């Protein structure tokens, strides 16, 4: 049954996090170390002239809100931080984290303010959070604000990832504050004033690995247990009633959810760019869309983050191992409550096995196989990825085009099918030796497809369900940003609509599935980004 819609005034708030966990006793919104508490109460800073830029109708439905409600002035005022609804209990979370492998101590919600938790008419919990609505006690030297360009990227990518089938937090709205914010986009000393903006993010929970780490680091083990109990009871209710075994079962589930998320990242060519432990969701959701990027050409050691350019810790190929490392830090944090390291170590030992099986299953689907056959498919996928890396090849276009291969038609000895050619960036790299290597692979691949005895149409349908036609390419987002900075928001709405059906053919929107144009190769915002917003 379709739930009836509600109004903003009738949203049902159930603020479990603030009701059941301890609050910072310091009430002033000043930067300080927060001990013996899981959060600080703080109100958003009102913007001078709030203006709605865009909203997601799909995210609004999760809150039982109609589109006309999202177009109201009240909606804009609330989700820019200018008004609070009855029942809202704004707060910023306290957490720590490892940043680029080093312990950074207290971090916390430096520019995110949670408005409160609602229960929709399906009794599903959603936390409402404003990103860019002003300083909190965790802002350190920052201003707690966000600019339009980074907010557009977060808003669009949150919703694009959802429609791609990737576990993610969601974005309800994007608004302007009517104020200017000073930023140094590339950390090169070139400051400029940019439009200030706020994104309303929603998620069942915004709890991160770092929420547990900070309590463990401070040896506040009673609070650590309270947070673990609350998290399991609220977000993992199937593990209730709680027992000592529940903690290990919970950790194992967190491991599997995290790796499931990473497998989806690898499937669609997404690179998070800053997989610090404070950016890891306890629910295995993609969170904190900062200097992320999408593989254009298949370059496994590519990172979109300028801060990561030297070490490439968070490069595409490293994401599974980094996820495992982060899970190891979470295991260290919760050990005082679990009591024994053995069940945690067992879960970690099984995590990469879980990942590799999931990765194999994912690659089998991308290639159109019924299932992954290690005897043949391991070498086949390894060779293919090697081929893709040897010449600049668009990751998305190649796999999407591969679905058109008909095994009944033998490839020419000295040329490639048209549907493959459009995936290449540099024609000079397509040498006779390369053509022979790729054709040899396609011949082996065709034989392997034949073993499954699946029709061409069925194979094509399967592949097109997992290989997107449209991704939020970096240059597409940047083009929308540049239009928006001139007060033209049409590019945002159009990309939002294109990404609603990323696996479909959209004949009138083929331009959005094209490979990266040459002008975007090294352009800021199209190639690499900094953590600055």
> For residues 431 and 437, is the Cβ–Cβ distance under 8 A?
no
- Residue 93, token pair as written in the block: 């979370």
Q: How many CB atoms lie within 10 A of CB 149?
A: 23
Catalytic residue among 278, 288, 308, 360: 278
CA distances from 231 to 224, 237, 325 (A): 11, 9, 22
C-beta of residue 54 within 8 angstroms of C-beta of residue 483: no
Largest alpha-carbon pair distance within the chain?
A: 74
CB count in 10 Å sphere of residue 465: 12
The angle that helices 221-235 and 209-217 make with each other, rounded to 10 degrees, is: 160
- Distance between CA atoms of residues 385 and 227, nearest Å: 43
Is residue 278 flagged as an active site residue? yes
What residues contact 119, with CB distance under 8 A and at least 6 apart? Answer: 12, 14, 125, 126
Q: How far is CA 107 from CA 37, 89, 250, 326, in A?
A: 14, 21, 25, 16
**Cα 396 to chain center, whole Å?**
18
Dist CA 197 CA 175 (whole Å): 6
Helix, strand, coil percent content, the chain, rounded in steps of 5: 45, 15, 40
Alpha helices in 80-127 (DSSP H): none
187 alpha-carbon distance from chain centroid: 24
Which residues belong to the active site?
Answer: 278
């Amino acid at each position: 049954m379709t739930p009836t819609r509600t109004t903003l005034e009738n949203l049902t708030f159930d603020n479990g996090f603030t009701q059941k966990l301890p609050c910072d006793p310091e009430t002033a919104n000043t930067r300080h170390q927060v001990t013996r508490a899981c959060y600080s109460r703080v109100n958003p800073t009102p913007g001078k002239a709030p203006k709605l830029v865009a909203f997601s109708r799909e995210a609004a439905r999760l809150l039982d809100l109609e589109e006309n409600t999202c177009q109201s002035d009240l909606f804009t005022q609330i989700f820019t931080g200018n008004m609070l609804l009855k029942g809202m209990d704004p707060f910023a979370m306290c957490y720590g984290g490892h940043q680029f492998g080093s312990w950074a101590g207290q971090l916390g919600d430096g520019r995110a303010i949670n408005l409160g938790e609602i229960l929709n008419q399906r009794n599903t919990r959603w936390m409402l959070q404003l990103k860019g609505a002003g300083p909190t006690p965790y802002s350190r030297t920052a201003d707690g604000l966000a600019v339009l360009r980074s907010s557009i990227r977060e808003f669009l990518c949150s919703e694009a990832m959802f429609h791609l089938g990737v576990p993610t937090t969601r974005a309800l709205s994007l608004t302007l504050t009517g104020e200017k914010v000073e930023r140094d986009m590339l950390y090169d000393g070139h400051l400029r004033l940019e439009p200030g903006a706020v994104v309303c993010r929603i998620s069942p929970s915004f709890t991160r690995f770092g929420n547990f780490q900070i309590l463990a680091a401070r040896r506040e083990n009673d609070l650590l247990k309270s947070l673990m109990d609350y998290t399991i009871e609220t977000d993992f209710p199937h593990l209730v009633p709680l027992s000592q075994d529940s903690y290990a079962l919970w950790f194992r589930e967190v491991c599997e959810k995290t790796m499931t998320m990473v497998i989806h990242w690898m499937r669609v060519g997404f690179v998070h760019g800053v997989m610090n432990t404070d950016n890891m969701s306890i629910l295995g959701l993609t969170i904190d869309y900062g200097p992320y990027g999408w593989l254009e050409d298949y370059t496994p050691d590519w990172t979109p983050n300028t801060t990561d350019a030297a070490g490439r810790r968070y490069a595409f190929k490293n994401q599974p191992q980094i996820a495992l490392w982060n899970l190891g830090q979470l295991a260290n944090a919760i050990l005082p409550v679990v009591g024994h390291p053995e069940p945690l170590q067992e879960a970690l030992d099984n995590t990469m096995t879980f990942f590799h099986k999931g990765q194999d299953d994912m690659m089998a689907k991308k290639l159109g196989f019924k299932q992954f056959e290690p005897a043949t498919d391991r070498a086949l996928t390894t060779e293919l990825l090697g081929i893709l890396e040897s010449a600049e090849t668009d990751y998305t276009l190649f796999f999407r085009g591969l679905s058109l291969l008909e095994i009944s038609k033998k490839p020419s000895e000295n040329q490639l099918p048209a549907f493959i050619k459009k995936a290449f960036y540099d024609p000079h790299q397509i040498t006779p030796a390369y053509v022979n290597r790729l054709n040899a692979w396609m011949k082996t691949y065709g034989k392997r497809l034949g073993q499954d005895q699946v029709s061409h149409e069925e194979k094509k349908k399967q592949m097109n369900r997992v290989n997107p036609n449209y991704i939020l390419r970096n240059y597409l987002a940047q083009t929308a940003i540049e239009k928006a900075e001139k007060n033209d928001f049409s590019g945002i709405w159009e990309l939002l609509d294109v990404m609603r059906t990323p696996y479909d053919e959209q004949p009138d929107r083929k331009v959005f599935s094209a490979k990266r144009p040459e002008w975007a190769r090294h352009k800021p915002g199209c190639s690499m980004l900094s953590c600055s917003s």
